[in-house]
Amino acid sequence: MSMWRDRISTITHAWLTPTCSLCHLPLEPQAQHGTCHACQAWYAPSLRCQRCGLPCLTITPQCGQCLRSPPPWQRLFCIGDYRFPLSHAIHQLKYQRQFWQARHLAARLAECITEPAPLITCVPLHWRRQWQRGFNQSERLARPLAKHVGSQFDPHLFTRTRSTPAQQQLTKSQREKNLSGAFQRLSIPHVNHVAIVDDVVTTGSTIRQLCDLLLEVGIERIDIYCLCRTPEPSDAFQP
């Protein structure tokens, strides 16, 4: 009898005691975003260009590349680079359906955002891809993020009209050609400041297409909210 009591106690303790999403040790009461104090060091902020979001030697409103060829958005807010632990958390969300990660990641991203846009939308999936996966990870992130920053969320501002091959092994120019004409705007936003949510931004080819659709109807400011900003592969293949 005592053996069963001990086993039930162990199982109950595992269910009721929250653990760190990285090291799986018990969380202290004041821990935030499902991560213990020791593992928080993995999320230390890095120096970035505030416009394109790429790493810089110092925080700057616009880096040299943005001054020469400015992107169609005004600000990009991200948590960090696509590396552990963010890469691990995104993989759990997208491929292991651990949706609780979306809530923690959205809360962490919200802390990085200043002057949030009154309207937030997300990068759409083609209906076939969403049917296969069962969800849109960008929508899973954008919905709780909008609540955290007090913005309206519109998941249907855009639609993906054409299914395209996976982007991972394409060069920058191939990605742009691959996505040309793949999106359509379904409505005109009632505000002049809109934010687009995506999980990872690499070349920015996807969000550039969406930005162009917003600029066509006179949107004055576009921000990008993403979990990770990775260096652009240019015309070399992404490793």
Tokens in use for 228?
A: 């990770």
pLDDT of amino acid 85 = 85
pLDDT at residue 149 is higher than 90 = yes
Beta bridge partners, 198, equal 226
pLDDT of amino acid 230 = 87
> Average pLDDT for residues 163-180, to the nearest whole number?
60
pLDDT at residue 168 is higher than 80 = no
pLDDT of amino acid 236 = 42
Its pTM surpasses 0.95? no
Which of 6-20, 138-152, 192-206 is least confident?
A: 6-20
Domains in the chain, please, with CATH?
A: 1-41 (no CATH), 45-229 (3.40.50)
* Position with higher pLDDT, 69 vs 236: 69
Distance between CA atoms of residues 16 and 30, nearest Å? 16
pLDDT at residue 189 is higher than 80 = yes
pLDDT-derived band at 238, boundaries 50, 70, 90: very low
Distance between CA atoms of residues 21 and 11, nearest Å? 18
> Average pLDDT for residues 156-165, to the nearest whole number?
82
Tell me the pLDDT of the chain averaged across its residues: 85
pLDDT of amino acid 6 = 46
pLDDT tens readout for residues 70-108: 999 999 999 999 988 889 999 999 999 999 899 999 999
Question: What is the DSSP-derived secondary structure letter of residue 38?
Answer: T
pLDDT of amino acid 23 = 80
> Average pLDDT for residues 195-203, to the nearest whole number?
95
* Position with higher pLDDT, 66 vs 21: 66
pLDDT of amino acid 4 = 52
pLDDT tens readout for residues 204-235: 889 999 999 999 999 999 999 999 998 765 54
Distance between CA atoms of residues 185 and 161, nearest Å? 10
Nearest Cα residue to 112 out of 36, 38, 195, 190: 195
User: Are the CB atoms for 214 and 222 separated by under 8 Å?
Assistant: yes
